[in-house]
Homo-oligomer: A and B are copies of this chain.
Amino acid sequence: MSLVHISTPKPKDVTQKVVDALALAIHEHRLAPATKLGEDEIGEIYNVSRTVVRAALQSLAHIQLVEIQRNKGAFVASPTPREAREVFEARALLEPRTARSAASRATPNDIEILKDHIAKEHAALDVGDNGRALNLSGRFHIEIARIADQDTIRRFIETLIARSSLVIALYWRRESALCESHAHHALVQAIADGDEQNAEELMQSHLVDLNSALDFRDRPAQTLNLRELLQATDQ
């Protein structure tokens, strides 16, 4: 199942296409948190029926990229400061160990793939396409989880990376240093060397760095969120 999700050419899975398109838009920050995702609207855009749109939205809701409110509709998720903190706490718990595993298992081909990711990331940054760079940075982390060869934990990390995109959209503080490809580079080196200890520590400090670039104190305060938060008549 999970393998299928990764590797298949997917001749005709319309739902997945919609899922991927929406997820990409969110990851690249083209869809802002709390944006309403009307079923008819999306259906018209992709020329599919509401049936498949609903399936896609439910799929995205499961990984918490969108939030569905009964009889209200689907919205791009808007993590609270608390949720945002939790996402990075969970990443700190899972990813260092995963990087260690990756260091013990990576093949030369895997290293090539990682370096390729970094190169693309640089290219995107040079062009000024921060959205794409952010997305690639996330996929870099997912790639490490894949190399670690633990499907279950990889799936968890995938959802955390996805949500990180939203967290960054809401709580990013600094202007520059968007994805510290320097850290990524060092990490690849450790993994290539099979240096498990170093890989684990580098990943840990990388996540600490990321965390320190976020500011969870002030909350989103988006129009849509405000409105729904004020009326506590939620069922």
Contacts and interface: CB of A to CB of B under 8 A. Distances in A.
Contacts of A62: 59, 62
Contacts of A150: 86, 89-90
Contacts of A89: 150, 152-153
Q: How many copies does the complex hold?
A: 2
A152 B90 contact: yes
Given A55-B58, A67-B1, A93-B93, A83 B235 contact: no
Contact of A153 (B64, B93, B97): B93
A181 to B, nearest CB: 27
Given A58-B58, A94-B93, A153-B93, A4 B234 contact: yes
A50 to B, nearest CB: 11
B1 A64 contact: yes
B235 A153 contact: no
A8 interface: yes
Most buried by B among A61, A64, A68, A93: A93
Contacts of A64: 1-2
Interface in A80-108: 83, 86-87, 89-90, 93-94, 97
Contacts of A151: 83, 86
A175 interface: no
Contacts of A153: 86, 89-90, 93
Interface stretch (A9-17, A37-45, A214-222): A9-17
30 contacts: A1-B64, A1-B67, A1-B68, A2-B64, A4-B234, A8-B234, A9-B235, A11-B235, A13-B70, A51-B51, A54-B55, A55-B55, A55-B58, A58-B59, A59-B62, A62-B62, A83-B151, A86-B150, A86-B151, A86-B153, A87-B152, A89-B150, A89-B153, A90-B150, A90-B152, A90-B153, A90-B156, A93-B153, A152-B160, A156-B156
